[in-house]
Amino acid sequence: MLEPEVNLDLAKEHGFTEEEYNWVCERLGRIPTFTELGIYSVMWSEHCSYKNSIALLKTLPREGGKLLVGAGEENAGLVDIGDGLAVAFKIESHNHPSAVEPYQGAATGVGGILRDIFTMGARPIAALNSLRFGNLDDARTRYLFEGVVKGIADYGNCFGVPTVGGEVYFDESYKGNPLVNAMAIGIVKVDQTASATAKGNGNPVLIVGSSTGRDGIHGATFASEEISEKSEAKRPSVQVGDPFTEKLLLEATLEIIKNDWIIGIQDMGAAGISCSTSEMSAKGKSGMDIDLDKVPLREEGMSAYEIMLSESQERMLVVAKKGYEDKVIETFEKWDLNCAVIGTVNDSGILKIHQNGVMKAELKAWDLVLGGGAPVYYRETKKPDYIEKKHSFDFNSLSESKNLTEVFEKVVSSPNIASKKWVYNQYDSMVRTNTIVGPGSDAAVIYIKDTNKALAAKTDCNGRYVYLNPKEGTKIAVAESARNVVCSGGTPLAITNCLNFGNPYKPENYWMFKQAIEGMGEACRYFNTPVTGGNVSFYNESPETSVYPTPTIGMVGLIESLDHITTADFKEEGDLIYLLGIDNEELGGSEYLKVIYNLVEGNSPALDLQKEKDLQTTLLSLIKKGLIRSAHDISEGGLITSLAESCIINYEKPLGAEVLIPINNRIDFSLFSESQSRVIISISPKVKDAFEKEISKSFTPYKFIGKVGGEKLIVNQEISISINRLKELYYQSIPSRMNVTV
Amino acid sequence: MKPKFGVVVFPGSNCDHDAYFAVKKILGYDAEFLWHKETDLKNSDVIILPGGFSYGDYLRTGSIARFSPIMNSVIDFANKGGYVIGICNGFQILLEAGLLPGAMQQNESLKFICEDVYLSVKNKDTVFTKSIDTEILKIPIAHGEGNYFADDDTLKELEDNEQIVFQYSSQDNNIDKKYNPNGSLLNIAGIVNKRKNVLGMMPHPERSCDPILRKTDGQKIFKSIAENIFN
């Protein structure tokens, strides 16, 4: 094949700026070859280099707590949970591929994040996902929603990881550019972890798993630009997933790691062989000699450029200990997988890529990678004009709704509030038999076998809050995910983040990004939940809409004893209901405002970190003392929605409730306010005295508001709705919009 | 006497460890994994074909697995009266192997379904069900193709020979279409062969064995096997 001439124009087509292209030439002391240009372009793409975000990400708390491996050091972070075990977890976006090819886009998102976990030596024990789409009234949105859910389901179900939780939001802002963030959690013995490094002159380098094809070439570059009319043509940049191969890859990989036959291993995700060879070399301060003729290929005649840039899924790069390559090959053959020695490690620091006896690329590994020679930028920031305008919205100008029951019915049937059963019933949430609390409660609870412990996990972010107030909104995302973990009986351990923002070259977007990072850092330091890693996804824009800035938080907590596990549903008739925390009538960015008035106005709710921490400490201590029957956090849809959910989350055993809630100025505001740091709990009447004695010692405000029981939810005698009606609204909303019944 | 369960591991099995854990760690029976490329059943008293996606379920669910070397031994074993239980993908493999009659179609909703369901125990005259002390079991399903189909003659034969063991029902034993999650004929969730030594069922009893997960009805099936196969 005749290779095109490398010049500035070609470099620009590859996404380089003139300045970046000149740097490449300077470093090489010559014009790069076509293959080298390709490698540089993917490695310096936003997706691989984090060039516009890394400087800010470094300000986040990335150590402390129980962190064993911090952000950026390995494929995923590692947190100590005692008993000689550690948890590896990470969240990653697959937004752009899912926007053009929802099924494969979402499926390979799941595949990629699972590989990140098991290359650490950890067996994936749970998956979660955080999804955002446009309005379900739109046919294309339904197509994307249906395809993404099926993609996640088919991949996770076949692979055999339970998908236990997450979140789904609908808002017009995500119409052209849905967000698909996949999270995975794994467990590993502390002394059996693997590292993504290459060292030891002469150690063999192997490629394992699927063969390499022409799929996904330039996927990383595609992910580093805005969605446009031209994106449809990028459909071939979307990889195709094969969960069956991934399952085999998992078993084989864990076997070679456990037997200690390898020096290092890295998943091939974005930028395929280019990324894994250069990052592993750079980490081990080594180089590699790679012979592309040895790479198992899916099709003939692939050029060096194509092989280096292919993003074919279900592949790994392994550096074996010299003399153990046969053992590694034997293991992969047992699982009917490809495994080929494609080169050796050298100590020159230089990556030498050969094909047909010709040197196709000769590059310093260090120059290519994040943390090495990849560019680092601080972008210009500008506070967007809309923010002040939004903040000055006068809520008193809103007409007061007459029929509050009717209004509540609309809110509870909003797809953002309504049950996501239509989604999670398609996910195998129970395989591996560790799922104690599956999807639908505050946080998922996963049992850790052979211990008396469990993990609690949750993803969270309210994009509307972040849009109205990036810093406060991001703090809320951290606080709420922690609150969810606490409501389930766990102590928050650490977070992973998936930062979905627009084009960073637009100063308004970068201002929001910067504010969000500041808020996240502040909250994480306060709660002592360091950041174990994650992913940045810029360029989430389409010609029609601009996506709300959405820094998704994935929180993992430890439940120290199975006795502490708590769920959101009311348990027994006659139980007493209490409200913890206080309301400040905060309607900014609320679901009520959106559903009833079709407005996204005001400021996000305020978050007082001290009050939040007090609440969480108090609640956890009450749970540990065995005084709490149910705990449910108050979030979208306000106090009344939270009460309704506690009534009907247990589909088979719903219970009514009658409560009298405190009213500030307007009853509708008090019902639907989304003030933070609040939880609805229920207790047995038998422990009333003990409970009140304990909680009165804390700083957390509390109020008795009513009792569990009856066939209805009755609030302040203004709202009365039968439990059956409530169930129908809550559980049928999404299926009826998707045109089916459950 | 303690029975020994042999749990077959196909490439793509993903409930193999769950089944092993349930019978060995929770119920305390003997258990061993059987690798699909081998033919030795290692003196197992009962063979479990576990759930999952054997060979990726490419072509058709269970269609490739039934050609693997271990299946020749399993078929021999069954034909000689040995006890076999196929769960979910295992049920699909038993159909493909001809050890049970009928076939699976995609769920009526065309979607994978994972949830707890109620099963009416229709026939208690099998080793798998003899010791079950209730009429109803609560056991989860997790499948995309559990829509059991057979022609009228086969169905009649299943009924006449009392081969239908489990049917989807309500909590109070109402076997109605509205409690059928996948569209299977006659609400069929599990059947045995004529000789009643081979059971295929879509629900996952191994997922409802561990008291920590707050559901244990699946234990009743494994206990029944243990209590009755040596009689």
Kindly tell me if the per-residue pLDDT of A741 is higher than 60.
Answer: no
| B22-34 per-position pLDDT tens digit | 999 999 999 999 9
Size of interface A-B (CB pairs under 8 A): 87
| B39-67 per-position pLDDT tens digit | 999 999 999 999 999 999 888 888 899 89
Which of A124, A91, A88 lies closest to A109 in space, CA to CA?
A91
Q: Is residue A447 within 8 angstroms of chain B, CB to CB?
A: yes
Token output for A728: 């129908």
Count of the separate structural domains present in chain B = 1
Kindly tell me if the per-residue pLDDT of A442 is higher than 90.
Answer: no
Q: Quote the pTM value.
A: 0.95
Contacts of A209 in chain B (CB under 8 A): none
- What SS3 state is found at A612? helix
Q: Please name the residues between 142 and 161 in chain B that touch chain A, using a CB distance below 8 Å.
A: 142, 144
CB distance A430–B140 less than 8 Å? Answer: yes
Which of A255, A273, A208, A246 lies closest to A109 in space, CA to CA?
A246
- What SS3 state is found at A354? strand
Kindly tell me if the per-residue pLDDT of A234 is higher than 60.
Answer: yes
Dist CA B143 CA B147 (whole Å): 9
- What SS3 state is found at B34? strand
Query: Is residue A517 within 8 Å of A56, Cβ to Cβ?
Result: yes
In this prediction, residue A441 carries a pLDDT of: 87
Dist CA B201 CA B104 (whole Å): 12
Query: Is residue B85 within 8 Å of B19, Cβ to Cβ?
Result: no
From residue B144, alpha-carbon distances to A77, A125, A128, A535, B85 in Å are 34, 21, 20, 32, 20
| B190-211 per-position pLDDT tens digit | 999 999 999 999 999 999 999 9
Dist CA B174 CA A207 (whole Å): 56
Residue of A nearest to B107 (CA): A426
Dist CA A303 CA A292 (whole Å): 9
Contacts of B109 in chain A (CB under 8 A): 740
Dist CA A85 CA A122 (whole Å): 10
CB distance B14–A449 less than 8 Å? Answer: no
Dist CA A568 CA A441 (whole Å): 6
| A85-140 per-position pLDDT tens digit | 999 999 999 999 999 999 999 999 999 999 999 999 999 999 999 999 999 999 99
Kindly tell me if the per-residue pLDDT of A237 is higher than 80.
Answer: no
Distance from CA of A326 to the nearest CA of B (A): 20
ipTM given for this complex: 0.97
Kindly tell me if the per-residue pLDDT of A214 is higher than 90.
Answer: no
CB atoms within 10 A of CB B180: 20
Dist CA B167 CA B136 (whole Å): 10
Query: For the residues A628-657, what does the mean pLDDT come to?
Result: 97
Dist CA A387 CA A421 (whole Å): 35
Residue of A nearest to B11 (CA): A248
Dist CA A587 CA A579 (whole Å): 19
- Computed over its alpha carbons, how large is the radius of gyration of chain A? 26
**Residues of B catalogued as catalytic:** 88, 204, 206
Query: Is residue A337 within 8 Å of A249, Cβ to Cβ?
Result: yes
CB distance A427–B210 less than 8 Å? Answer: no
> What SS3 string covers B89-144?
HHHHHHHHCCCCCCEEECCCCCCCEEEEEEEEECCCCCCCCCCCCCCEEEEEEEEC
Q: What CATH number is attached to the domain comprising B80?
A: 3.40.50.880
Token output for A323: 């003399």
Q: What's the mean pLDDT when you consider all of chain B?
A: 96
Number of residues that make up chain A? 742
In this prediction, residue A70 carries a pLDDT of: 74
> A228 pLDDT band (50/70/90 cuts)?
confident
Which of A229, A326, A312, A329 lies closest to A275 in space, CA to CA?
A312
Contacts of B141 in chain A (CB under 8 A): none
- Identified catalytic residue from A14, A47, A96, A632: A47
Q: Give all strands (DSSP E) within A600-650, no chain letters.
A: 630-633
Token output for B231: 């009689």
Dist CA B138 CA A364 (whole Å): 61
- Identified catalytic residue from A94, A354, A564, A632: A94
Distance from CA of B45 to the nearest CA of A (A): 24
Torsion of CA A363, A367, A372, A377, to 10 degrees: -150
> A360 pLDDT band (50/70/90 cuts)?
very high
In this prediction, residue A220 carries a pLDDT of: 63
Distance from CA of A158 to the nearest CA of B (A): 6
Q: Write the burial class of residue B124 (CB in 10 Å: 0-12 exposed, 13-18 middle, 19+ buried).
A: middle
Q: What's the mean pLDDT when you consider all of chain A?
A: 94
Query: For the residues A266-287, what does the mean pLDDT come to?
Result: 93
Range of the domain at B56: 4-228
Which of A678, A673, A667, A680 lies closest to A719 in space, CA to CA?
A667
Residue recorded with tokens 């029609």: A544
Beta bridge partners of A460: A553
| A494-525 per-position pLDDT tens digit | 999 999 999 999 999 999 999 999 999 999 99
Q: Are strands A204-209 and A163-170 parallel, antiparallel or unpaired?
A: unpaired
Dist CA A423 CA A149 (whole Å): 7
Amino acid, single-letter form, for residue B156: K
From residue A453, alpha-carbon distances to A530, A532, A561, B212 in Å are 21, 21, 5, 11
Distance from CA of A153 to the nearest CA of B (A): 8
> A742 pLDDT band (50/70/90 cuts)?
very low
Kindly tell me if the per-residue pLDDT of A236 is higher than 80.
Answer: no
* Residue among B21, B109, B213 minimizing CB distance to A435: B213
Amino acid, single-letter form, for residue A113: I
Lowest mean pLDDT among A532-546, A706-720, B24-38: A532-546
Token output for B57: 């379920």
